Structure 1
Amino acid sequence: MRTPAAASDALPRPLLSALACDSAWSQQARAALAATDEKLSRRFDDVERIDHVLALRARAVDQLLREAWRRCMAQDVGLSLFAVGGYGRGELFPHSDVDVLVLGDPQAQQRGHEALARCLALVWDVGLKLSHAVRSPQECTEAAADQTVLTALIEARPLMASEVARKALAAAVSPDKVWPPREFFAIKREEMALRHARFGDTSDNLEPDIKDGPGGLRDLHTLGWMALRTFGVRDLEPLVGIGQLGPDEAIALARERRALGRLRYGLHLMAGRPEERLRFDYQKTLAARLGYVDAPGSLAVEQMMQGFYRSAAVVRQISDRLLQRFEEQFEGEPVPRALDQAFELRRNYLAASSPQWPREIGDVFALFATWAGQPKISGLHSQTARALAEALPGLKPYTDASAQQRAQFMALMRAPRAVDTLTRMARLGVLGQWLPAFALVSGRMQFDLFHVYTVDQHTLMVLRNLAVFSSGRADERFSIAHEVWPRLRKPELLLLAGLFHDIAKGRGGDHSELGASDARAFCEAHGLKASDTSLVTWLVEQHLRMSVTAQKQDIADPEVIHRFATVIGDREHLDYLYLLTCADIAGTSPKLWNAWKDRLLADLYFATRRVLREGLEQPMAVEQCVAEGREATCALMLQQGFDADTIARQFAEMPDEGFMRFRPEQLAWQAAALVDVRHGQTLVKVRHIDGEARAMEVFVHSPDRDGLFAAILATLDRLGFGIHQARVLMGPHGTVFDTFEILPADTYASADTATVAETLRRALAGPLDQVRVSQRTVPRQLRHFRFPPRFEFGTTLDGRHTVLELVAPDRPGLLAQVAQVLRGQRLRVHEARIATFGERAEDVFHLSDEADRPLSGQARDALRDALRAQLETAV
């Protein structure tokens, strides 16, 4: 029997020889391309112009493709090769796709099929990520009905093509056959808007997309495609000659294109693949490669990211102007409609009437005053926006301005649409010119997961929240803000505090103190009364006080409230600080504000208001707090139909401390649930927290057992919940009254209260030592923010318990793991306050030993060692 021939033996010898040659050529070409990339990488690191580096890489790939084409394709085959898309522009990043078009009629496609397959295989063997299409001119016309295909084809660049083929392709995708300029402009503008919407219409993301995000390279490409289709120019610079783009705008766009291109090229090198997002995985190493170094108050990575955010902002500003001009190209020159002597409307865009506008900063303030009075206009006319941008560097800051100009600014602050005006001023660069300190934080990010916005964007978010409060409408997110706002004597003072509260970020030192100094100088320069200046300065200096008190201290403790009220001093300061605190927290991250924080701050507000009303010289006694809590809870239960004897009997089974630490409606809910519970039974009740559909309150009443607290936390963690607050109270007969406020931390967390209650009930019915903490991997983002855990010990004001303050990198199941350590040390937890700030967990525990005594020095050391061993263990 004959042995089957090997596959290679079945091929003709001439073809075998050709394949062997192809293999050798591919190896040589691969080595040559790798050497070129290595050389270009070095030139990139030597800060050679990115345009040159991109063009050199495209040229190297051009040469490789031409050589492969010549090796495989006969001259008379009738096929032509074009570079298309980004490669057609002559820009090629390290890991970008190489897009080509093979053009030829169907007969030529058939004749050259095998040769083309061999050519493509050669290129793939080299390692290029080649994406190709084979079409006739007619097929190009048909395919270009999809505007994305047309976008690639209109940038076609001949590699191996005759003039006849080039003209045939141009004719196939010409505006008279497919996508006339006006329609192309409209569809591309819509595509840009939809793309921006995918990124929340902002470039100020923690991990921004350099290519597709707002203000990224794709925006510049889109403008180029529009210009090419409308005016037939292959770059934006020729638009200067036809009056569509100012020389300064062209220079700015070219500068930012190079800055973005350099970021993208370096990102490809660092990632080793076509990564377009500036992920935390690469930000620090990329900043180092680009030559950034840490400076006092400003990390290298923060400087790099600030450069990106500023570049994106410039691209968006000029893009808006250019899109408006393109629109006018199709719609025709608008007929102006005068608004007053200085301003007019042009197709519903606000424009300055005089070509000499603006002469000084007062003219600019007059523009914003007119704009505020025209809420339905589309925006600022492109010519006026350009005139403003050109004049901006020459406009005086507030320190050099006249009293009249400062008065104009304060008039804008007092006007009904002040926040809209400040936002517009910030985005157009006017606010940073008037207030140089604001320019310093423009685009400034903080390298953490807590601050999801740049400092300037966070400031605008805070101001926007204040505008919500001022509307007079109730907002379910902020339960009492709309009631507090009308009490403000001068709302503009709160806006000033919001403007200055973070303005000193990145300078080093305490930004609250530095910002307060800036605020004082600004207020005094603008002629504010001494009392108003003092209030704004105090708000900036104390803007973190209420948040820290609410989240880190026991606001059920009369002593805590009295100390806080002493700092506040009076009702006016409390009103202003409360509103600023709510706006600040909610403006830091969309995930940070919730019903629990709203209620926490409201509780602190009302408790402080009461102390201020009754007088700081007479702190409320604990006994009085307990008595008032009992009285209010009793009234609620009577309304619910419970008789006085049942209420009295139930109150006798509840800890007195609870009447001080819980609100009456919580106590009434707990007491009602316990009416039919016999001694020795375990009760688990779960309900949704008002105003927050996702948040839940969990109440566990049970005979005390070792490991109960840890078992509850481990079970809630397995259910996918994070704990925001825990209170553990000891009741009569060795029972515990544990209350937890929880929020979903994972997508699989159930929204059904019955499911949560039943799962927890089953877990507590069995041996508690079998309830284990689930082991989960640390999310990608958290891995880049590791730091050694810190432990601080203290004692509660009454001296009964030890206070442990824990600051550690956050990770899934952290609190449950801490609880397991506390259990292993045989410690009792009386209260836990849980706060997570991005990647940082800052938790506070009130602890005692088994005899309810504060921890000894030896016990503290043992606990610290056990916690460090647990938390430093890799997950």
Structure 2
Amino acid sequence: MTTGSGDPGNYAAARLRLLGEEARSGPPRRRALSGLTDAWLASLLGDAGEGVALVAVGGYGRGELSPRSDLDLLLLHSGRGTREVAALADRLWYPVWDLGIALDHSVRTPGEAERAAADDLRVQLGLLDARHIAGDPQLTAALRTRMLARWRAGAHRLLPELREATGERARRHGELRFLLEPDLKEARGGLRDATALRAVAASWLADAPREGLDEAHRTLLDVRDALHLTTGRATDRLALQDQDQVAAALALEDADALLRRVYEAARVLSYACDVTWREVDRVLRARRPGLRRARRSAERTPLADGVVVQDGEVVLARTARPERDPVLPLRAAAAAAQAGLPPSRPALRRLATAGPPLPVPWPAEAREEFVTLLGAGEAAVGVWEALDAEGLVTAWLPEWERVRCRPQRNPVHRWTVDRHLIETAVRAGAHVRRVRRPDLLLVAALLHDIGKGRPGDHSVAGEAVVRDLAARMGFDAADTATLATVVRHHLLLAETATRRDLDDPATVRTVADAVGDTGTLELLHALTEADALATGPAAWSAWRAGLVADLVRRTGAVLEGEAAGAAEEAERREHPDPRPTAGAERLAAQAWRTGGPVLSLRTRAGTPAEADRSDRAGRAGSAEGEADPEPIGVELLLALPDQPGVLPAAAGVLALHRLTVRAADLRAVDPLGEGRVLLLSWRVAAEYGTPPRADRLRADLVRALAGSLDLTARLAERERAHLGRVRRYGAGAPPPKVTVAPAGSRLATVIEVRAQDAPGLLYRIGRALEDAGVTVRSARVGTLGANAVDAFYVTGPDGAPLPPREAAGLAAELERALGG
């Protein structure tokens, strides 16, 4: 389409017809509008002779001309006289102004353009997209060539400056994908970020992941076109009052569908920026002088089984076999979040395409790694976003698709539904010491709004979704019921506390009936606060917190009063199986006869046949046991005559051999009626590689008990090495919490320890208990995700429970020791 002359009226009429063509929209219309404008401006310039060129820069140079876009123009000349150049400029600029079109213009020689670019990063970015319109093409080509050469030569200096500028812009304008009235251009994940990615690619140092990127960019441009046409204004802000009209113009169902499409595009751009800037950093680090630094960056440090750290990213080990290990993606994600390091995009792509789906129900390791990921603190957000961008989250949780990028039209909410859920899990991580089941708290936090986007009350819909989902994840019937109850009633405490009379017994009775038990009540209490804090600053206050705490206290009193026989039940939990298995009896008798430790180590692979193969391969011992329905790692049974220091010695040896304790049970038996034998049953997992041989464990245990193996020093070295290879292990974890369980047992004092699991934690607990002079009668040790939840039944020298004041002092001293 051409105008036929430089007459502004002809151009305006042709422009109006083009913008009114419903059949032509999107990229074709933007190209046509740019072409139409090019032709008109060329006719205005006329035959200016050599040494003059009209150049489109910025968005116009890229051909991204929206209906109300500015015209970014440069009149380039080789040094003609001032009057002649001024006359040419007037011939161009005044007709544009007469039509009311915004104009960003400049008149410069090539040298002046280069100097302006050197002083202003935005000018330089605009010239990277320079496009010839009319006049002397060689003048434009020469300037473009020089600008690209200068950009590439100065990339080591200019790209960090560009990154800082994009970060500052994001801080001012926020994240496009979470804003109810987003700025399509300036917010993070918007059109300016797309321009920045083009600039990075032009430097030849790095390139953005291309998959979905062009479509996301096109989506934002299409929305801006519709916004300009429906409002008649040159605006980039998608205001609430305009969203329904813009949605209709784009043939979308409603404003929510429009926002969701915008958010999805912004997410693609944001993720591309994250990946690209990490690659820029890596390349710039590699270009710095120093052979030692280059060698260090190439090191591959083990982080978990099949997972290593290389050059500041979490990647797959060379021996990893994702096609045979369905839990590897979760293990890699959990390790990355715990270490505070980003997962490599090529590694995620490989995991997403090569790995088999998780078995249904999930194996125990998958649940543990999932919970570890959720409980990793703020670092979990970036890892989760990367997983979601590569499709791994919806592969694990198909229900996630309904809440993905779903807007929340409530000014109190600062996030979309999906981001709110992961933010709630992060907030819940600060409360894992308050609850007996931190794994259920974190999973409930992630899923509490999973019913949004479905018909009806989202709490009711979410309960049904969570029942199916929890069963697939491998939670047993009781845990599934608890999760469903927490999701169903996640608003109950806040709504009741702020809207009902707490002095009315019927109010508390109603809450108690809905909750059912104190364990669920403490989960709801922690989730209520985490949910509110993740919603926004206006959703939680000291007043609201006080009301909820009062309601929880009253409801807890009712539920505890109904727990008849609680002491007897606690006693049954202390000794759930008073008679050891036949294999354990044989080990205990052998330990008593030999006077030394006896170990049995067995790799449990899920079926007896697989376990037998592991035994024959020499990687396990001869313990007896029935097959479990899912892989549970390594079973270690240890028996030895009762003596001081058994628990710290055994725990220290396991930590020294890089065995993580998933669960443990300690008790005393008298196999021959002649004396006490301590029987320790462990479920452990190798951090990476294969488990050690039983004879090596036994030899080190003998040395540790004899005092010839300095476990304290060796484990301190291991912990320093562990902390040195990651930037912030356990970052954001709440401090340890040690309490005395009320009415825990009639025969012993029950000390409960809740802490972030870490190498040597159980060793340090055992040492502290030994130093306190108490006897550990029995113990229940468990690891739920990244959290250790341990109970120790201790007595004083007289074999009786500790007096209350002494028990409280022991708990406080143990908490100080673990905190240090």
Task: Find the aligned partners of 1:404 and 1:390 in 2 and give their Cα distance.
Answer: 19
Aligned counterparts of 2:128 and 2:413: Cα–Cα separation in 1: 42
Bigger mean CA deviation after superposition, 534-543 or 313-322: 313-322
What amino acid maps onto 2:301 in structure 1? A
Does residue 287 of structure 2 align to residue 320 of structure 1? no
Check if 1:156 corresponds to 2:130: yes
The 5 A counterparts of 1:532-681 are 532-613=479-560
> 2: distance between equivalents of 1:568 and 1:518?
19
Shift of 1:292: 1.9
Q: 2:53 aligns with which of 80, 86, 92?
A: 80
Distance in 1 (alpha carbons) for counterparts of 2:204 and 2:375: 38
SS in 1 for 2:75: strand
Pairing partner for 2:18 from 36, 43, 46: 36
Cα drift, residue 352 of structure 1: 1.3
Within the candidate set 492, 499, 511, 2:439 is matched to: 492
Distance in 1 (CA, whole Å) between partners of 2:267 and 2:487 is 27
- Contact 1:520/1:536 (CA < 8 Å) preserved in 2? yes
**What letter matches 1:458 in structure 2?**
H
1:292 pairs with 245, 252, 266, which one? 252
- Residue matched to 2:222: 262
2:738 aligned residue: none
Give the structure-2-normalised TM-score.
Answer: 0.62
Correspondent of 2:384 among 425, 436, 449: 425
Structure 2: gaps (5+ residues): 287-293, 565-820
For 1:211, the equivalent position in structure 2 comes to: 185
The answer as to whether partners of 2:307 and 2:316 remain within 8 angstroms in 1 is yes
Provide the rounded CA distance (Å) in 1 between the counterparts of 2:277 and 2:16.
Answer: 41
Report the 3-state secondary structure (helix = DSSP H, G, I; strand = E; otherwise coil) of the residue aligned with 2:138. Answer: helix
Q: Which residue of 2 aligns with 1:413?
A: 371
Q: Which amino acid aligns with 2:508?
A: I
What pairs up with 1:221-370 in 2 under 5 angstroms? 221-230=195-204, 244=207, 249-293=209-253, 300-332=254-286, 334-339=297-302, 342-354=306-318, 358-359=322-323, 360-370=325-335
Q: What SS is found at the alignment partner of 1:80?
A: strand
Q: Take 2:130 and 2:361, find their aligned partners in 1: how far apart are those partners?
A: 59
Contact 2:307–2:320 (Cα < 8 Å) also in 1: no
2:431 maps to which residue? Answer: 469
What is the distance in 2 between the residues matched to 1:178 and 1:510? 56
Amino acid at match of 2:200: M
The match for 1:723 is: none
Alignment of 1:59-138 (within 5 A): 59-70=35-46, 74-75=48-49, 78-138=51-111
| Structure 2 counterparts to residues 771-850 of structure 1, below 5 A | none
Counterpart amino acid of residue 210 in structure 1: L
Change (3 A) 1:461 1:174: closer
Partner of 1:51: 27
Superposition deviation, residue 461 in structure 1:
1.8
Match of 1:454 in 2: 416
Tell me the CA shift for residue 346 of structure 1: 2.2
Displacement of 1:550? 1.5
CA 556–271 in structure 1, closer or farther in 2 if over 3 Å, else same = farther
Helix, strand or coil at the partner of 1:361? coil
- Which residue number corresponds to residue 461 of structure 2? 514
Structure 1: state its 5+ residue gaps.
1-21, 232-238, 294-299, 471-484, 618-875
| Counterparts in 2 of 1:385 and 1:187: CA distance versus 1, 3 Å | farther
Q: 1:406, CA displacement in angstroms?
A: 5.3
Q: Is the 8 A contact 1:141 1:178 kept in 2?
A: no
1:195-221 Cα offsets, whole Å, 9 max, x none, are 222234562111122222222222111
Once the two structures are TM-superposed, the CA of residue 354 in structure 1 deviates from its matched residue by 3.5
- Equivalent runs, 1:833-872 vs 2, <5 Å: none
**Kept after mapping to 1: 8 A contact 2:363/2:474:** no
2:312 is aligned with what amino acid? N
The residue aligned with 1:384 is: 347
Q: Secondary structure at the match of 1:350?
A: strand
Aligned residues: 545
Amino acid at match of 2:272: I
Q: 1:404 to 1:592 in 2, by over 3 A?
A: closer
For 1:845-873, what per-residue CA distance to the aligned partner results, in whole angstroms no more than 9, with x for missing partners? Answer: xxxxxxxxxxxxxxxxxxxxxxxxxxxxx
Cα deviation, residue 373, structure 1? 4.7
Residue 417 of structure 1: how far off its partner (Å):
3.7
Q: Deviations over 1:28-69 (max 9, x none)?
A: 332232222223xx235xxx5x22221111111111111111
Q: Which of the numbers 7, 19, 22 marks the counterpart of 1:25?
A: 7
Q: Indicate conservation of the 8 Å contact 1:451/1:588, yes or no.
A: yes
Contact 1:335–1:347 (Cα < 8 Å) also in 2: yes
Q: Does the C-alpha gap of structure 1 residues 65 and 411 become closer, same or farther in structure 2, counting only changes over 3 Å?
A: closer
Native 8 Å contact 1:325 1:382 kept in 2: no
1:357/1:64 Cα in 2 relative to 1: closer, same or farther (>3 Å)? farther
Aligned equivalent of 2:619: none
Judge which range, 117-126 or 331-340, deviates more. Answer: 331-340
Task: Give the superposition deviation at 1:281.
Answer: 1.3
Structure 1 SS opposite 2:204? helix
Task: State the identity %.
Answer: 28
Query: 2:336: which partner in 1?
Result: 371
- The answer to whether the 8 A contact 2:176-2:263 is kept is no
Is 1:169 aligned to 2:143, yes or no? yes
- Residue identity in the other structure for 2:322: P
* Contact 1:357 1:387 (8 Å CA) reproduced: no
Counterparts in 2 of 1:616 and 1:335: CA distance versus 1, 3 Å: closer
Counterpart selection for 2:399 from 429, 432, 437:
437
Q: Which amino acid aligns with 1:223?
A: L
Match in the other structure for 1:524: 471
Question: Alpha carbons of 1:387 and 1:420: their partners in 2 closer, same or farther (altered >3 Å)?
Answer: farther
Distance 2:373 2:102 in 1: 58
Could you list the per-position Cα deviations for residues 796-844 of structure 1 after superposition, in whole angstroms to 9, with x for gaps in the alignment?
Answer: xxxxxxxxxxxxxxxxxxxxxxxxxxxxxxxxxxxxxxxxxxxxxxxxx
TM-score (norm 1): 0.58
**Amino acid in the other structure paired with 1:61:** T
What is the Cα deviation at residue 420 of structure 1?
5.6
Q: CA RMSD in A?
A: 2.9
Equivalents in 2 of 1:352, 1:23: separation in Å?
63
Structure 2 counterpart of 1:335, one-letter code: A
Distance 1:92 1:168, change over 3 A: same
Output the CA distance in 1 between the equivalents of 2:550 and 2:166: 46
Offset at residue 183 of structure 1 (A): 1.6
Are the equivalent residues in 1 in contact too, given 2:367–2:474 (CA < 8 A)? no
Aligned-partner Cα distance in 2 for 1:129–1:91 = 15
